[in-house]
Structure 1
Amino acid sequence: MFKFLIYTSVFLCIGWFGVKYYFTHVNRIADQVRSDVLTHVQTHHSQFLTYNDIPEIYRDAIISTEDRSFFTNRGIDLRGTLRAVSVDIGSGQARQGGSTITQQLIHNTLLSNMSKSLTWKLLESIYAIGVYDSMSKQETFAFYTNVIYFGHGANGLYQAAETYFGKPPSELNAGELTMLAGLPNAPSNYDPYHNMKLARERQHIVVQSMVDNGEISESQAKKIISEPIAGKIE
């Protein structure tokens, strides 16, 4: 048993460093992702946002809601991925989420033209590890924010802010930013143009996630929820 554990550990270490070498020296995944993101932004006539351009309240909202271990995980959340794979195998198709922010970035770039399947899920995880090994967390988050879809033809946070509120992200209040943070989960369901009630309910979930994650207090959460949702959807 002890030898088995030793061999398993050695195998995993070799595999991990092999993936790292491959994606940093042979198939430079960071360059591919950067190219895809910039092409995506240009194609949709949007404006690229760096990590520092993205309002802190929005960053905290997304991480608290989508991937709380973002700054510490290695591109994948093994527990979440295993749960998702288990459900997928049971159903025979990809039904479960469990993707980290890094995996969602891969889904929206390198795998955007590939239909979901067990192979797709495996590639998503492997590529996410490659991104972790070759790109900073700040850059990963910024790229993710620039390519996710918010509904109504809005690709990326900049377009979403303009589409729903008629102003850039830097001018949005915390209430508007937390509402936007909830849209990519299901843009058509939480569309504030057509169902403000559901959009508000989703915003409450996002804000409560921030409380649960220790980013804001209960009193700050109440203040955010009470802030006016102005602009095009008022």
Structure 2
Amino acid sequence: MPPIPDAHHAAFDSLVTRARQLFGNAVEEKLIAPYSHRLPTFRVGQLSVVGEQWLVVDVEPGPYSRHPHQRWELDWNSDLEKAKALLEKYHVRQLLAPSSGDVLVARLIALVGEDGEATVSTEQAEFDRTVTVTPHRRGAIPFEVLITSGFVVVINGPDLGWWTFGGDYEDDGVEEAQRVLEHLLIRGGTIRITRRASELLDTDGSIVSGPHRDAVRTRHTKNLHFTPYRQ
């Protein structure tokens, strides 16, 4: 096998850069130096990209996937932007992973980045994965995200209670959970706690999510302001 040309390495580097912009530390990277006979590759969840004769983008289905195995063989030069567009589709619409939960975990890790700790576990009963998130910044909220194979997502924490999203193999709840996580991690806002329920407000006071009945409650309405993880 001849070495990967320098131009192909440059193209692959630009694709890795775009992946890191979208997914941060969730990108598992195995770049190979120029003139090597080994192939450069990286992975985000179940999506992998390999630089060989073609630029190959491959997505493996999981046991609960509604999407078949997908594979694209793209031209190094003319199809580079298409490869980037596939990454963006994976990121924005959450369609290319074996389940939306896989995308959610990858996105969560990327959002936390260096501003906190995100620890993934598969040991909690009834849930496929649990991500425990702890901030480095004072005033940000610690929480955990629990995900089932049936697209049930729970965001749980001492200041939140038990916020449940989705279920019945529908993606809508996962998308709402994604919006809540983005507010907790990068936007900040307020949690309004009442006797009956809790809800999440943005910095302008508009409702982002809720009311959540299985949440932390109080006899007198309380507004808990929190900061994002990022400075």
Fold match (TM-score > 0.5): no
Instruction: Report the structure number with the largest CA radius of gyration.
Output: 2
TM-score tier (shorter): under 0.3
User: Which protein has the bigger strand share?
Assistant: 2
User: Which protein has the bigger helix share?
Assistant: 1
Q: Return the structure number with greater relative CO, CA threshold 8 A, min gap 6.
A: 1
TM-score scaled by structure 1? 0.28
